[in-house]
């Protein structure tokens, strides 16, 4: 199996990349930093930051079975403190970077003989819930969800496209919001399951969506959020 992952050097992306590599897949990771990925067998790291355009298509494998795009931002500001540059930067990282990668990978996906070749994108529950100070992040991720559904229709029946929409997960990206145990306890009380998400919670769903077990799943936005977006508890 050949997989391309954007944003796979840490957090959820790294967990997915390590699992794929340990399962024998060949994994190409595009990210700004390599972390310790270069020491892991079956993983090839290629430096690239998706906050800017200019993706180098020559680095894409000839044949691709799965594409995962994880880069995102948590830009929490009131609308009065957001300018158009903030929206443009978030849009580049969250949406346009995904479009660049997908367009570059489509020829390789079409060459794949994997029965369940697929694309996996990432959103946030803020795209469908009204959460204060999420205007830029929510708008950009809502665009990702629209892209998911449109591509799922356009690329069917040969390529599946799905999207995971997590709530707050304990990663490096969310660390500035969870600076101590007291804050974590306060945030956890909002969730029906009374805890924040773990990297493993998200990667478990990602693994299912990437494999043949999910062969009849496409065009879905799957909330992995401890029940926050659907339960009033």
Q: Which residues of 146-185 are buried (b: 16+ CB within 10 A; e: fewer)?
A: ebbbebbeebeeebbbbbbbbbbbbbebbeeebeeeeebe
Please give the order of strands across the beta sheet that includes 2-6: 43-47, 26-31, 2-6, 66-69, 118-122, 160-166, 221-224
Asked if 141 is an active-site residue, the reply is yes
Q: Determine phi and psi for 102, rounding to 5 degrees.
A: -60, -45
Q: Which of 73, 117, 141, 223 is catalytic?
A: 141
Q: How, if at all, do strands 26-31 and 43-47 pair?
A: parallel
Using an 8 Å Cβ cutoff, are 72 and 136 in contact? no
Alpha carbons within 13 A on the beta-carbon side of 226: 20
Q: For 32-57, give the DSSP string.
A: S--TTGGGSTTEEEEE--TTS----G
Asked if 203 is an active-site residue, the reply is no
Structure tokens at 139: 């708008």
In which residue are the tokens 């660049």 written? 100
Q: Which of 73, 116, 123, 203 is catalytic?
A: 123
Structure tokens at 85: 């540059």
Please list the active-site residues. 123, 141
């Amino acid at each position: 199996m050949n997989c391309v992952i954007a944003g796979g050097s840490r957090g959820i992306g790294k967990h997915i990349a390590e699992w794929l590599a340990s399962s024998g897949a060949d994994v190409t990771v595009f990210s700004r930093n390599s972390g310790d990925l270069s020491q892991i067998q079956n993983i090839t790291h290629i430096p690239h930051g998706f906050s800017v355009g200019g993706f180098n298509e020559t680095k894409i494998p000839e044949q691709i079975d799965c594409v995962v795009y994880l880069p995102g931002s948590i830009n929490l500001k009131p609308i009065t403190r957001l300018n158009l540059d903030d929206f443009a930067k978030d849009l580049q990282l969250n949406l346009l970077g995904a479009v660049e990668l997908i367009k570059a990978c489509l020829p390789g996906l079409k060459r794949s003989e994997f029965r369940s070749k697929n694309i996996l994108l990432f959103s946030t529950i803020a795209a469908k819930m009204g959460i204060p100070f999420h205007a830029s992040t929510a708008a950009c991720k809502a665009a990702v969800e629209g892209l998911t559904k449109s591509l799922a229709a356009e690329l069917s029946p040969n390529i599946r496209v799905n999207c995971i929409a997590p709530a707050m997960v304990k990663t490096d990206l969310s660390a500035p919001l969870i600076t101590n145990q007291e804050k974590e306890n306060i945030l956890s009380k909002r969730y029906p399951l009374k805890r924040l998400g773990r990297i493993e919670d998200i990667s478990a769903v990602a693994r299912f969506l990437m494999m043949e077990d999910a062969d009849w799943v496409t065009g879905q936005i799957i909330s992995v959020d401890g029940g926050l977006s659907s339960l009033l508890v």
